[in-house]
Amino acid sequence: MKVLIATEKPFSKVAVDGIRKIVEGAGHSFATLEKYTSPEQLLEAVADADALIVRSDKVTKDVVAAAKNLKIVVRAGAGYDNLDLDALSARKIVAMNTPGQNSNAVAELALCFMIFMSRNQLTPGTGSELKSKTLGIQAYGNVGRLVASHAKGFGMNIMAFDPFVPAEAMEKEGVRVAKDLEDLYANSNFVSLHIPATEQTKGSIGYNLVSKMPKGGCLINTARKEVINEPELMKVLEEREDLKYIADVAPANIAELKEKFGNRVFATAKKMGAETAEANVNAGLAAANQIVKFFAEGCTKFQVNKF
């Protein structure tokens, strides 16, 4: 079988070497398409691939149609909103992710963002400390949970809201459970987003929630830019001169936000939450192992589509 890694934003060399070793060690062939600059290059590269490993690369219906031999796609990472699951399922192609494998890298970036914004983006002037502030975590999954644990080390109080996690599980970890999202936003100096981008969550973070934050509040987005209602964010930042926003990765209206709000906003140009050698190795090797097990035993653990 031919296993292709197609990564517009490449893995570290150590991760690619590790993936190659696993794939070739299991008797499969291995190819890479890195730093590609047009969707056509991806269409061409997938033509004879039996398995595909991607990061945030868009696996569209055109990619699926071009990949005549494709049997499995693994998104080396958590969020799989970049995969056209309908197109994959229609061809009975298995789609998987590698949950938890890059979570620590993203969690550390959320902490970095909190300090960066509390210290005025490292520009001169008086900042503030994280100690004794309240952090509200929206979605207590793999990343949210690690953010909570790291933030406790800074002496922060933790609140969380996650309708899919039993309250007792959060309370056991010293987390105050918010009654609802309004309660979370109204009582948190920082809110850190860890929700996936789905039809339900896209554009769901807007004026009504962000405007509830206490004075000096900061919204941290290491999840997906699509979950933000950008015009409403603009409106709330205009009305509330104390609020701040930091994101991995930049919203469409970042130029206007920067011009209007200066140091109250910051965004990365390219998503960098999972950009550590450790996360690349964890997620990349997990993806390779999942593919090898799928071909050897038909193992579909971590499958995210149904057909």
Contact residues for ligand 3PG, defined by CB under 6 A: 9, 55-56, 77-79, 102, 271, 273-274
Q: Give CA separation, 307 vs 71, 81, 205, in Å.
A: 13, 18, 32
Name the residue nearer to ligand 3PG (CB basis): 55 or 133. Answer: 55
The residue nearest ligand 3PG at its CB is: 77
Provide the minimum distance between the beta carbon of 103 and ligand 3PG in the complex, in angstroms, as a whole number. 8
> Residue 266 forms beta bridges with which residues?
246
Two tokens, residue 280? 């690349």
Provide the minimum distance between the beta carbon of 102 and ligand 3PG in the complex, in angstroms, as a whole number. 5
Provide the minimum distance between the beta carbon of 141 and ligand 3PG in the complex, in angstroms, as a whole number. 11
- Report how far residue 250's alpha carbon sits from residue 121's, in angstroms, rounded to the nearest whole number: 16
- Report how far residue 60's alpha carbon sits from residue 40's, in angstroms, rounded to the nearest whole number: 12
Q: Report whether 290 contacts 73 (CB < 8 A).
A: no
Secondary structure (3-state) at 205? strand
Tell me how many degrees the CA angle 274-258-279 measures, rounded to the nearest 5: 5
Name the residue nearer to ligand 3PG (CB basis): 78 or 234. Answer: 78
Provide the minimum distance between the beta carbon of 138 and ligand 3PG in the complex, in angstroms, as a whole number. 16
- 307 Cα distance to chain centroid: 26
Name the residue nearer to ligand 3PG (CB basis): 107 or 234. Answer: 107
Provide the minimum distance between the beta carbon of 81 and ligand 3PG in the complex, in angstroms, as a whole number. 8
Q: Is the dihedral of CA 150, 288, 89, 37 positive or negative?
A: positive
Provide the minimum distance between the beta carbon of 291 and ligand 3PG in the complex, in angstroms, as a whole number. 17
Name the residue nearer to ligand 3PG (CB basis): 97 or 189. Answer: 97
For the chain, what's the residue count?
307
Name the residue nearer to ligand 3PG (CB basis): 12 or 89. Answer: 12
Name the residue nearer to ligand 3PG (CB basis): 96 or 213. Answer: 96
